[in-house]
Structure 1
C-alpha cells in the first residue's frame, strides 16, 4: 500500500505542475489555425462543403438548381460530415521519457505531455470525443476533459520503458501513441494488431532527444537507463557511434513497418525542434486517419 504522506506529496507535485502544463498547451494549441471546425468529408450535416457534378445515383432532391442553372452541368451540394469522432490517446510515462541531454530543450516526457494536452484541446474544441488508452478516462467531449488528460499526463508510471496497450479503444475510432519506443516493441505490435482488427486507424509519434539520434559521445562513457535497470560502460564510446546509428535506423524502420501494416501513420520528433511544427503534424495526421 502506498504511504498516504508520499501519495499526498506526489499529488501536490502533480497539481502544482498542471496550471503551467495547461497554459503551455493552450498557448501551443492557439498557434494552430483552425477556423470553424469541419471534417472536410461529405456526409450528414448542415454546413455546406462543396458543389460537385451530379452522379447517376444522386437523388433529384439533392440537385442545386440555382447553381446548375448557371452552367451546362447539373450540380449537387455536399454537406460537411458533422458526426463527432472518438480519438483515444496514449503517451509513454516511463522513466525513459524523463531523459534530456541538455538544459536547452525539455525532457521527452515534458514535450510529449504538452503535445498530447494541446492536441486534445484542439480535438475537443473541434467537437471530438477524446479519451486515454489504458486509463480510467473514457472518451468524452468538452474542454473539462483536457484537465483530466493533463492530470494523467503529469504522473509517471514507474516503469523503465513504456508498454503500450489497446485497452479502452472503441472499434472504428482513431488513436495516437506517443513514445520514444526504446523498449521492447512486442507490446506495440500486439496493440497495433488488435486495434487494426477492430478498424482503428491512428498515428505513432516517436519522440527522441537529439543525443539519442546523433550519439555525440566519445571516450569513457557510462550508459545507464533512466530507471537504473540497465548499465553499460565503455572506454571508447565513439567506436560505437556507427553501429548505434544503424541499430536506431533499424528500429525506426521496424516501427514504420508496423504502422504501415496496421494502416497507421508514423512520425518522428526531436525535443530540440519546434513543438509547434510537431503539433501541426500531429493534428493533420489525426484528422487524416479516418
Structure 2
C-alpha cells in the first residue's frame, strides 16, 4: 500500500507529526505546555512537532533503444514498464502534495502536472544508441531523483552523476528494469544476439554455454550498482517486467521516504 503525504524535515516547526519534548523556555505560552508530560516531573515541557514540506522529486527514464526489448509478446517492453512506474510514482507523489517533474524540467505540484508528466514520458525522443544517461548538469540542489534504466550498457557515467549529486545534496533511487529473458538467459543452441540498435552482434553456436558467464557478469554489474548507490546514500533496486508493477511502485515510494 502506498500512502502519500508530505515528508518531514526532522526538525521542529509547523506540522502534524510529533517530533520531541523539550523543556519550556521564556516565551512559550501556557497553551504550548504539554501538561500531561509536565506532570510527571518538576519541569514544564513543550510538545514540538516536525516541520514538513513538499519535496522536489525528479524522474528520469532511459530512452535507449535497449529499453524497447521484450522477450515475449504478452510482456511489456522495459521502456513501457519504466514509464508506467515513473508516471504512477509521480501521480502518487503529486496526490501527497509533492512537487514532481521530469529531470531537467520544472518540478510542480497539482493535477495538471500529472498530464505534463504523461506527455513528457510518452513524447520522449528515443536515443540513437542502445542506452543513454542523465546529464549531471540537470541536477538541482536538495532534490530527490529516481533513475529507471536497464543499466546494461557501460554505466561509467553513474560515478560522475553521483559525485555531483553528493555536492548538491541530491539523494535518490536507482532501479534496474529488465526483461525475464535478460534476468535468466534461457537460450540454447545457435543464437544470434543483436542489440536493438544493431551496433553489437554476437553469433553463438552454443548459447547455453554462455549462460554461467552471463549470469556472473549480471550479478557483478548489479553488485557494482548497489555499491555505487549505497556509497552516495542512495538506494538500489531491480524489477523484472513479468512481476507486478505495484510491488516496485511501493518500494520506490518507501525509498524516497527514507
Question: 1:41 deviation in Å?
Answer: 4.6
Q: Post-superposition shift, 1:276?
A: 0.4
CA contact (8 A) 2:35 2:44 kept: no
**Could you say which residue in structure 2 is the equivalent of 1:4?**
none
| Alignment partner of 1:143 is 2:111 | yes
Deviation of 1:196 (Å): 1.3
Per-residue deviation, 1:79? 2.0
Q: Deviations over 1:156-210 (max 9, x none)?
A: 4233212222233211221111100111111122111111121111111111111
Query: What residue in structure 1 maps to residue 76 of structure 2?
Result: 106
Matches within 5 A, 1:190-269: 190-269=160-239
SS at match of 1:219: coil
- Tell me the distance in 2 between the aligned counterparts of 1:167 and 1:66: 52
- 1:66 equivalent among 35, 41, 66: 35
Q: For residues 82 and 106 of structure 2, what CA distance do their matches in structure 1 show?
A: 20
Q: Which structure shows the bigger proportion of residues in strand conformation?
A: 2
Q: What is the root-mean-square deviation in Å for CA atoms of aligned residues? A: 2.1
Equivalent position of 1:50 in the other structure: 18
Which residue matches 2:66?
96
Contact kept in structure 2, 1:53 and 1:74, CA below 8 Å: no
The alpha-carbon deviation at position 88 of structure 1 amounts to: 1.3
> Secondary structure at the residue paired with 2:192?
strand
The SS at the match of 2:74 is coil
Shift in alpha-carbon separation, 1:74–1:104, aligned structure 2, 3 A: farther
Does the CA contact (< 8 Å) of 1:44 and 1:80 recur in 2? yes
- Rounded to whole Å, the distance in 1 between the matches of 2:97 and 2:48 is 20
Q: Which stretch shifts more, 72-81 or 209-218?
A: 72-81
1:21-40 to 2 correspondences below 5 Å: 32-34=2-4, 37-40=5-8
Alpha-carbon distance in 1 for matches of 2:143, 2:19 = 28
Q: Is 1:275 the counterpart of 2:231 in the alignment?
A: no
Q: Deviations over 1:228-259 (max 9, x none)?
A: 11111101000000000000111111111111
Residue 158 of structure 2 is aligned to residue 188 of structure 1: yes
Q: TM-score, normalised to structure 1's length? A: 0.80
Whether the 8 Å CA contact 2:173–2:255 is kept in 1: the answer is: yes
| Separation of aligned partners in 2, 1:51 and 1:194 | 32
Unaligned segments of structure 2, at least 5 residues = none
Q: Following the alignment from structure 2 to structure 1, what is the Cα–Cα distance between the partners of residues 62 and 193?
A: 21
- Equivalent pairs, count: 252
Distance 1:65 1:158 in 2: 59
